[in-house]
Each structure stands twice: as structure tokens, then as C-alpha cells.
Structure 1
Amino acid sequence: MKTAVAKSGWLQETGVRFDAAYHLSEGRQARHLVESAPLGTVGLGEATKRIFYGGRAKRYYVDSPERGIPFMGSSDMLKADLSSIKYVSTKHTRDLEDSMLQAGWTLISRSGTIGNTAFTTKDFEGKAASEHIIRVVPNGKLPAGYLYAFLSSSFGYGLLTQGTFGAVIQHIEPDFVAEVPVPLLPEAQMQQIHADIEAASTLREQATQLLLDANNLFEEGNGLTYNESWLAPSENIDKAANVVRASDILVTSIKARNHSYRSTQIIREWHRKPGIILNEYLTEPFTNGTGGGYFKRIDDKNFRGPGMVSQSDLHRQNPGNYKRVKIIRATSKDYAQPEMVLFPSVGNAAGENEIFVQPTLAYKLYEGQLLSGDIGRFICNSKEDAAYLFTALRTKAGFRILRAMIYGTTLRRLNWQLIKDINIPIADQNLKNKVSKLVLRAFDFRHEANQLENKAIQAVETAISSWQK
């Protein structure tokens, strides 16, 4: 339990706030350090054109980009891949103009989980965001990348979260964010931090394009063609019901979802092409759960045990700050290896933007990290094999197959018996090599982008820490 004697001046500074969490937060110490900056500080509001969140309006979700635009919540802004977020109707949703995003802004989550940040790249343009995200629009007085790096630092986070209010769902407001003091560093140092953030953004944009190119090459190179309705979000566009012959009933399941018309058609299309069945592609069968390890989560910031990658960490743009655990026992399979395709293997499969069964690579981003038992692992012979399999499963068709082959009610899991004999199309080795090369290069770029961003944030934290007397 933390205790402190509050001075009367503290209450006057904060509009007579009596909640202990505010005065005992790390934000008070952060503010003291920031305000001791040798070159002084400026209020965030002075360095911005506008700090705001989008308008509140009833949302009408649609299934296609022809009738809507991508719409992200505060959890979506942290994702490395923005291709699976929801669409809202451009016709029926009011005040969308004020919800649109532009490149070069800093986004801050303002309710629920407060203080998470993202720097908008060109991939954010043309997308709208909810009122749960505060937009910080720079005016050029301070470099945009520097503002983002400071707000993403431990000191910026402490200052942002200090202003939370609310009993059940906590919030912060733009007026409070505008008053956050931003320390001034030497101009050359701020410009270097900005340059690193900009370079990281460019690398992420290039990685997004490389993965899109890999998807297209996989489908075109294998000559795959699909009815548009097979890839649509709704199961019912083409057929609301499907007749299945007794001879086609899967031995392990009579669940309707496992026999859906569109997943059956996609699987047949894949089986018409040259390839290798999944069971033979992998070095060993997939199983739910850990590789034999057991880890106890420790909710204590002072505990220095190893970090463990959770399901939600898998698709974060810059994964890190993992939950600390105490290892009771662990095997080599509990640690990420470059030959692994990773995916969240436990979830409710409720919507298109859910990360359940959406794959990623262990290569570069997670190598050597301890993995949660809820993370699925497809272990391949090489990182090149993993990159190609990742691409196949990342396509809309691959995603439809995985989402159909699950079991469970509230919490659902991937059913290995239903997918082990699925054919992975491989027209020839040359195609496989080209696809793998694009994917591995994309993950190289993502890794380099994370290193540049972390370097910029670390530079801010090192400078501020040096002022401590």
C-alpha cells in the first residue's frame, strides 16, 4: 500500500482533487522531472493545432469497402496490420469527416485502457476512428516524431494516465492532455528523434505493401479463383443453409460451421492445385496448449521474471512490456523460434477484427521469447517454409478456412483433426521462394522499425532521467 501526506498546494494545482490515485501516481514524479528540463518546457497544446476526439454518432457497420470506410477503435490503432478492421457506412453514419485520420498525428487511447499511443503512417489515411481515441495534431513548433516519442515514453505515459477520472470506465480529456508539459531538448536531438520515428513509419508502410504483394503473388501464382461471396464477412450472402451428404460428414464433427458451404468450396479449390497437405508441411502435429511448460503470472511491477508473449501481444505494432511470469517448468517449444507460424488459438471468433486464428511469424519479432499456452504454433522446417505458410493462412481464403474449423462454445479453439489434411497450394518451388522472400523482408522492415522507434523513445527517457538530482 502506498501512502503520502498531501500538501495543500497539490490540491490547488489540481482543482481540489481528493482521489489518492492521482496524487500517488507516477505522474507526479514524472512532472517534477520534466519541469526541471534545463531548456524549459512547453504545454502540449502550444505545440499542436488541435487536440480532439471524433464526434459521437450511431455507427452503422457494413461488410464491404464499397459501402463504407475502415473504422478503428482504440485497440485497433495498436495493430501491425490494419486490413481486418470493421467498416462503417458512409451513407448512414453521421459526422464521419471529423473522425478521419491523417498521417503524422499521435493517437492516444482515452478510455478503458488509457495512455496507449500510436503514430499515424500513410496506412491510417482514409480510415476513421472512434471517440475513444484522442488525436494530437502537431503545428510544427516541435517535431511531430519527437512529440510522439515523448508521449510514448514512461514519463509521457505517467503524465497522461495521471489525469484519469471515472469510477467504472476511466477517461482522460483533450483539455487535460493539452496541459501536459513537453520538455525541450537541443534542437538537433529532437530532430534526430523525429527522423527515427519518421524512418520507422516508412519501413512499416513498406512492410505493409510487401505483405500485400506476397498475398497477391500467392493467389495469382497458384491460379486460385474464388466466388466473391466465399470471402465475404457474412456466411449468408450466398447460402444461408447447406446440404451435406452423409459421405462428406467429417468423422470428428457434425457442427454446421465445420461444414459451411464457402469453406468447403475454398478447400476444394486449394485441393485442385499442386501442393502439400498441412500435416506433411509441418515438422509435427499442432496441439493446443504449451509445449509442456507451466508459468505463473506475477502482477508486480518490481518482479523481474521473464516476459511472456500473450495472444494480444502477437498483433501489436511494437510488441514489448510483456507480462512477467515465474517459470515453473519450460521446454524449447515454449519459446518462439524463427520456423514458427504463431496465432491466437483461443477466442470467441465473434467478428472480422478479432485476432483469433489470425497468423503472424515468430521471425525477428518474437524469436527467443516465452510464449503463452494460448498461442498456437505451426512448426515448419525453415523460416522460409514458415513465411510461405503464413501467407497462405493470412489470405482471406486461408482465414475463412481456419475460422470454420474450430470447436467450442464460449471459448473456441482450432480443431487440428479438421485442418491437418488441407492442401497448401504450391505451384512450384520458384513461387514459394519468391513469396517467402517478400514476407521475410517485410518482417525485417517491421523489426528495424521497432528498433528505430525504441531507440527514439529511449533517447527521450535517457535525457529526462539525467535531470534527476
Structure 2
Amino acid sequence: MKISKIKTRVFKSNGFRIDASFHLSDGVVVRRKIAASPYKIMKVGDAANQIFYGNRAKRVYVQKRENGIPFLSSSDILQADLENVKLASKKYTPCIEQMRLQEGWILISRSGTIGNTAWATKQHAQKLASEHVIRIDPNNILRAGFVYAYLSSSYGHSLLTQGTFGAVIQHIEPDFVASLPIPQFPAKFQEKVDNLIKESARLREEANRFLNEAVSEFEKCLNPECYKREFCTSTVSTKQILKKFNRLDSHYQIAQKEFVKRRKRGLRYEKIGPKAEKIFVGNRGKRLYSKEGVPFLSSSDMMLFNALRYSKNISVNTPSLKMMQVHKNEILISRSGTVGNSVLIGDLLNKKAVSEHALRLLLDEQKIKPSYVFAYLNTEEGRELLQSLAYGSVIVTLGEDFVADIDLPILDEQIQRKIIQKINEYVWASDSAAEKESLAISLVEKEIDGWKV
């Protein structure tokens, strides 16, 4: 329940409306707060060269990376991994240049889940994005990183998602974004926030480089034919079916047979199961949401660049909370919906709660390092293997027993150490990038919190 005091002049300026639903709606409250700014108020459009969205032309998707350009949806722009997305044909997709992104732009989702923001890094640059993504090209009248942090704050998000009269908006246009008020904060404050956002972007790019180098090092030792995507048929013996969980689906049985058949000769494989302390799914019980508490991540939240930005909180009194909490060096694997995405828990997500839609892999570090297993799960072979394990018709699911049955390539110890070091650097850089972005946003929010209405 919300309670507030409204001054008489506010009633007068709003046609003497006295309904609480209007005066206490987020959009109205935030606009009132911004109007109380001690600094000059500008429009977002004044801080941009242009605000627009991409072309609506028909897209033709392809499978081969050399024939396509990564295409980002409005939800993809927030992801930590921007490579494993759909590929739009270079040859058959019209108006490609109108869809192309540039480094340093501010990206905003404009339909579906509206108002989510992303800073375009080098990883976004030259990729394509749908017309459901608004692009802001900053002109540096206000620092670009500051404008991004402002729109990403709780105040900016409310402005993007709530209309002037308190109504929830289902769709936003560039003109609407351009009309939003933004205070002209002091230059030193803007510089501090801008530096944090740009340092966050640099660390994120560095993290992606570490991950790509580790995965590339692993893939050099694998047979690329092992995960070649192609139509194939095969026969599977009854003995093989009984050995492989009595599964009759060709998606699984043929894939398993092909993986074994195409393995690189001389490379040793061992099951993940004996190297794990536990493979399990967290608590499925009722969750008690609260304003304060433990951050709670869905299986889609955990794949975001900054997983805590849009997460909910659950009460510390939630039953079986400890069963929901994850710990450093656990590997989380999305087990329903989009199957096979994986996350290695670092300091940032340590002791945070995660939904039952994430399968948890807790490894015995005396037998194998989690960083090494995580690197394999992010190779083409590892991703294809995880996806082949899924079962179900409408909602596909990944089971614990199938993950335990994965054959893990055991590389030379020197190569293992190199891969492990790269992944550890990746986790550190990812966590640091998210922390710096969160700090920049919180600085803006704390400043606005102090303004008296």
C-alpha cells in the first residue's frame, strides 16, 4: 500500500483530480520528483543526434555463420552472450545497414517488455537489431554514459514505461523517448557516472575476449566434425537404447551415436557424473517476494550481462531458501525452455537464489575444475550435446541423469591450466563490469532520492 501527502497546487495543476491511483502512480510520482530537480531540465532528445528504430524489412535466417550476421531481438540486447543468436542472411536480408548497431549507442526495448536498456559495446557493434529496439545516438551535450545510467535507473525506467497520466504503456516510440525530461547534472557528476559506464563496457569486452579465447583453445583439441549440423539418419541397436536410459527419440539416440563416431581419435573422455559432488534442481516451493531480501534469478535472468538489474527479491523467511541459494563455482544450466545455456557462479551471484528451472552442477574440485567444465559446455560441441539431451514435446526439459552421463574430453594438463586461467579471468571481468554499471546507476538514483518534492 502506498501513502503520500499531495499539496494543493498539485491538485490545481492536474485539473483537481483527487483519485489516489493517479497521484501515486509511478509515472506521475517520478515526473513530480524530476520537476523538483535543482538543475536545469532538458529533453532526452536534446542530448541525442537522433533517436530511431531499425528497418521493418523481411528477414531471411541462415544457419552457417559465414553466410549470416548476428541478429538481436529486444531481449537479446541484454544478454551476456551475443554470439549464439539467430543469423540474418547477408545476401537475402534487405536494408541491412538500417538495422546495424554502432558502439556507444543506447538501446531500449520498445515493445513486449518495454523500457529495458543496454549500452552498445564492441560486441553489439555491426550486429543487426530488430525494429523493436530503439537506438539513441548521443551527441555528448550530456555525457553519453550518464544518459544511459539515468534511463537505466528506477526513475528512468518509470518514465519509459509509465505515461503522463499514470497509465502503463504497451509500446513506445522514438518521439516519446525524445520528450522525456532529464536533469542537466553537474559536469563532474556526469563525468564520474560516464567513466563508470565506459569502464563497465571495457570490462565486458575483456570478459568476452577471455571466454572466446578459452573456448577457442578447447575447440582446437576437438574434432569440428563432431558438432557439424546436418540432417542424418542412422540405426540404433536395442542394446544401445537400453544403455541410454531407454529413450526412443531419434533426436537423442542418433546424436549420441554421432558424437561418439566423430570424436577425435586418441582423445580421452570421462563421465561428468563421477566428478560431481551433486547434480540437482533447487527448491520448487512457494516464493515470498519482498522489497528487501535475497535477489532471486530466473533461468533467463541468469543469462543477462547484469543479472541483478532486473531480478526480484524474495524474503529471507521463504521456506527452503538455502536450497535455492547458489554458491561460488557452481555451474548453472538452463533446463527448460531454452535448454543448455550455462553460467559459472562468481562472487557477484554467490548466495543469490535461483529458480528450479536452472539445473545445478556442483563439481568435486579435487577431481576437475569447474572452470574447465564450464569452458567445455560453451564450446560448439558442448552446446550441441546439451541440447541433444533435452526431452519433451511442448516444454523441453533437461534431466540430472543426462548431464551426469556427458562424456567430458580430458585434455593435456598444461592446456587445462591455460583454459582454467582464462575462464577465471572471464568471471572476474564479468562480475566487475556488472558491479561498475550498478554503481553508476545507483549514484544517479541516490542523487534524485535526495530531492525534496
Deviation track 1:142-162 (CA, whole Å, cap 9, x = no partner) reads 111011010001111111112
Calculate the aligned-residue CA RMSD, in Å.
Answer: 2.8
Separation in 2 of the partners of 1:10 and 1:110? Answer: 28
Residue 266 of structure 1 aligns with an amino acid whose one-letter code is F
Counterpart of 1:323 in structure 2 is 312
| TM-score using structure 1 length | 0.87
Q: Is 1:379 aligned to 2:362, yes or no?
A: yes
1:259 aligned to 253, 259, 262, which one? 253
2:421 is aligned, of 437, 445, 469, to: 437
Q: Tell me, in whole angstroms, the C-alpha distance in 1 between the residues paired with 2:153 and 2:327.
A: 29
Corresponding position: 1:72 with 2:69? no
Are residues 364 and 306 of structure 1, via their aligned partners in 2, closer, same or farther at CA, if it must alter by over 3 Å? Answer: closer
> CA separation in 2, counterparts of 1:172 and 1:407?
38
Instruction: Give the one of 227, 240, 245 matched to 1:248.
Output: 240
Aligned in 2, Cα 1:303/1:148: closer, same or farther, shift over 3 Å? closer
Deviation of 1:305 (Å): 4.1
Aligned with 1:370 (options 333, 338, 353): 353
In structure 2, the residue matched to 1:304 is 292
Seen in structure 2, the aligned counterparts of structure 1 residues 94 and 335 have a Cα distance that, compared at 3 Å, is: same
Residues 365 and 295 of structure 1: CA distance in aligned 2, closer, same or farther (over 3 Å): farther
Q: Which amino acid aligns with 1:307?
A: P
User: 2 CA distance for matches of 1:360 and 1:147?
Assistant: 30
Q: CA deviation digits over 1:353-404, x for unaligned, max 9?
A: x4x2211111223111112122100101239711111111111111111111
Q: Distance in 2 between matches of 1:328 and 1:454?
A: 26
The CA deviation at 1:82 is: 0.5
- 2-side partners of 1:174 and 1:441: how far apart? 39
Match of 1:231 among 228, 233, 250: 228
**Cα distance in 2, alignment partners of residues 446 and 410 from structure 1:** 34
User: Using the alignment, how far apart are the partners of 2:265 and 2:336 within structure 1?
Assistant: 27
Tell me if the contact between 1:163 and 1:172 (Cα under 8 Å) persists in the aligned partners.
Answer: no
Contact 1:273 1:426 survives alignment (8 Å)? yes
**How far off its partner does 1:419 sit?**
4.1
Deviation per CA, 1:421-469, whole angstroms, max 9, x where unpaired? 3321122322222111111111101111111111111111111122225
Cα displacement string for residues 274-327 of structure 1 (whole angstroms, at most 9, x for unaligned residues): 24311112113x23x32x5633243xxx64343322111110111114223355
What is the rounded CA distance, in whole Å, between the counterparts of 2:185 and 2:155 in structure 1? 15
User: Secondary structure at 2:277's aligned position in 1?
Assistant: coil
Hey, what's the Cα distance between the residues in 2 that align with 1:149 and 1:219?
A: 38
Residue 294 of structure 2 aligns to which amino acid in structure 1? Answer: P
- Deviation for aligned residue 1:340: 0.7
C-alpha contact (below 8 Å) 2:27/2:164 kept by paired residues: no
Quote the residue 2:219 is aligned against. 219
Q: Distance in 1 between matches of 2:414 and 2:323?
A: 30
| Distance across 1 between alignment mates of 2:379 and 2:199 | 28
Matches within 5 A, 1:391-406: 391-406=375-390
Measured in 1, the distance between the counterparts of 2:183 and 2:345 equals 37
Cα displacement (A) at 1:74: 0.7
Deviations 1:224-251 (A, max 9, x none): 11228x333xxxx342x22223332224
1:93-131 residue CA offsets vs partner (Å, 9 max, x unmatched): 222211110010111111111110000000011111111
Distance 2:22 2:162 in 1: 6
Contact residue 342 and residue 378 of structure 2 kept, 8 A: yes
Distance change >3 Å, CA 168–CA 281, structure 1 → 2: same
| Alpha-carbon distance in 2 for matches of 1:8, 1:52 | 36
Task: Say whether the 8 Å CA contact 1:112–1:169 is kept in structure 2.
Answer: no
- Structure 2, unmatched stretches of 5+, are none
- The 1:283–1:322 alpha-carbon spacing in structure 2 relative to 1, beyond 3 Å, is same
Q: Does 1:151 align with 2:140?
A: no
Q: Percent identity?
A: 33
Q: Secondary structure at the match of 2:158?
A: helix
Alpha carbons 1:293, 1:331 under 8 Å: kept? no
Shift of 1:193: 0.7
Distance 2:71 2:155 in 1: 30
